[in-house]
Amino acid sequence: MIPRPAAVRVHDGVFTLDDATTLSAEPPLADVAGWLRGVLGPPTGYWLPPGPGNGSGEIALRVDPALAREGYLLDVEPTGVRVIGATPAGVFYGVQTLRQLLPPAVYRAAGTISPPWIIPAMTVADAPRFGWRGCMLDVARHFMPKADVLRFVDLLAMHKLNVLHLHLTDDQGWRLAVPRWPRLVEVGAWRRESMLGARRHATFDGRPHGGFYTREDIAEIVAYAADRYVTVVPEIDMPGHMRAAIAAYPELGNTSATLEVWTGWGISPHVLGVSDLALTFCRDVLDVVCELFPSEYVCIGGDECPPDEWLANAEAKARDAREGLAGPEELQPWFTRQIATHLVARGRRLVGWDEILTGGAPSGATVAAWRGRSATIAPARAGHDVVACPDSSVYLDHRQSTHPDEPVPVGNLLTLEDVYAFDPVPAELDDAEAARVIGVQANVWTEHMDSARVVDYMAFPRLCAVAELAWSGPGHDVGDFSGRLRVHKGRLRAYGVEYHRDSGPLPWQTRPDARGWPR
């Protein structure tokens, strides 16, 4: 099973799931029961409606608030199966574990196998280590069609991950329709062409790329994810990584340059100006975000905006003086405070990349710590909640083997074993500080992933290791994990995940046309 449950005890005997097995669920679990019927069964088949067991045993879902939050107890006995959770989410995770006890073909969309299925009698008790078990998906660098996003949500749910951090905007594309600012998608949602491979090679593909989500698409993604106990945390990256918006509305920028949506990768010198208009714009966009995303957390990015870039802007200098700031290095903290105030007034909590710490992050801000493993330490010590997502351990765009044909190798080598060895809580932290590490998150930056197929290849199986980090405590046995992963890959194949194989890329997973620049 992946992630590995905290405790598994196998008993004598087996439960036989057959055509006469019934499913009963307490009312708050109607959704989980429906989901179970939909996933496991042929359209109707053997999953009979809720009711007392009348044939070959019953699967019963119920809530018991005495269990740990998000935890579950799965009890398989010869006479029946019980899945008990403190919350419906807990029951959902118990059901996911039950699913892993069935043949891998239950991960297919249509019945290629039929019951009866034999499940050994056992007791599984489990609860997650972290409340934030996430994956960031960058749909800005490459747009991912809605159907593929929903499929990715399924993959998260299958691995008991519960946060999809959606990176919706960047220099290379703006993916969210915002009514008062229509040019964001008319202009900002596409670029003329894309860079092929690493920046230094300066090669381009000549092919336009684009796409965006309507408000209805977002509502659907959010509802679909919620049905699977996944929260979609939206990110609008500001004040840097804003070039797509500035291409749409040049007056938002820090210079008077007329720009196109960026076709290259990297850090653009073109960032938001520090104007009243830019602040109004950010607040407008965040209002739409708050309306569409029920998530308590809203990410405002905040990464990679060097203070000097703002110096080019006359308005910024005036702002320095007007707000009594000591210099440009105080501008971003000032900006972040304005935004935090706006979000807090709407009942939301601000999340930012660890750059927001520079000059002091607003109190109550949650930090996504990405610049190395040590980036988690400072915010935890400064009293901020932290989500550990260091580039050195969970950046899934980095190459995953030394195979010479790994596609577009960038960044450091990051093997499955490297990911698995990562402890999100640095040993330097004391208990109170450690408690501020609320989670772990993999980041899937998609400069070099232009389809769901490539995302599959880069994300799996490393995301399986991240899921296990998020659920289990430290001190893992990688040999044990490898054995379970071998079985788990059968589930991934059944679902249709084109994961990275131990032997390296398949011929069609290579990218001789897009050279990388490995560190």
Q: Which residues bind a second copy (CB under 8 A)?
A: 30-35, 38, 41-45, 49-50, 105, 108-112, 145-148, 150-151, 189-190, 193, 205-211, 214, 216-217, 219-221, 223-224, 226-227, 451-453, 493-494, 496, 498, 506-514
Q: Does 398 participate in catalysis according to the annotation?
A: no
Residue pair 436/380 in contact by the 8 Å Cβ criterion: yes
Which 3 state secondary structure label does DSSP give 273? coil
Contacts of 386 (CB under 8 A, 6+ apart): 366, 367, 368, 369, 376, 379, 380, 436, 437, 438
CB closer to a second copy out of 207 and 519:
207
Neighbours of 188 (CB within 10 A): 28
CB closer to a second copy out of 434 and 494:
494
Among 112, 89, 100, 107, smallest CA distance to 161 is for: 89
Among 458, 474, 475, smallest CA distance to 415 is for: 458
Residue with token string 């920028």: 253
The phi and psi torsions of 188 (rounded to 5 degrees) equal -80, -10
CB closer to a second copy out of 223 and 318:
223
CB closer to a second copy out of 113 and 257:
113
CB closer to a second copy out of 226 and 429:
226
Closest contact distance (angstroms) between CB of 227 and a second copy is 6
Q: What is the distance between the alpha carbons of residues 362 and 338, in angstroms, rounded to a whole number?
A: 9
Closest contact distance (angstroms) between CB of 472 and a second copy is 29
Q: Does 77 participate in catalysis according to the annotation?
A: no
**Dihedral sign, CA of 252, 255, 257, 259?**
negative
Question: What single-letter amino acid sits at 15?
Answer: F
Closest contact distance (angstroms) between CB of 218 and a second copy is 9
**How far, in Å, are 11, 33, 84, 160, 297 from residue 91 at the CA level?**
21, 9, 6, 11, 24
**How far, in Å, are 100, 143, 156, 205, 293 from residue 212 at the CA level?**
35, 7, 22, 21, 16
Catalytic residue among 70, 126, 138, 170: 170
Closest contact distance (angstroms) between CB of 420 and a second copy is 27
Closest contact distance (angstroms) between CB of 487 and a second copy is 16
Q: Does 502 participate in catalysis according to the annotation?
A: no
Tokens of 60: 């019963």
Strands 72-77 and 117-126: antiparallel
Closest contact distance (angstroms) between CB of 30 and a second copy is 4
CB closer to a second copy out of 354 and 498:
498
Report the residue count for the chain: 519
Catalytic residue among 154, 304, 329, 330: 304
Catalytic residue among 142, 241, 384, 488: 241
Active-site amino acid positions: 170, 241, 304
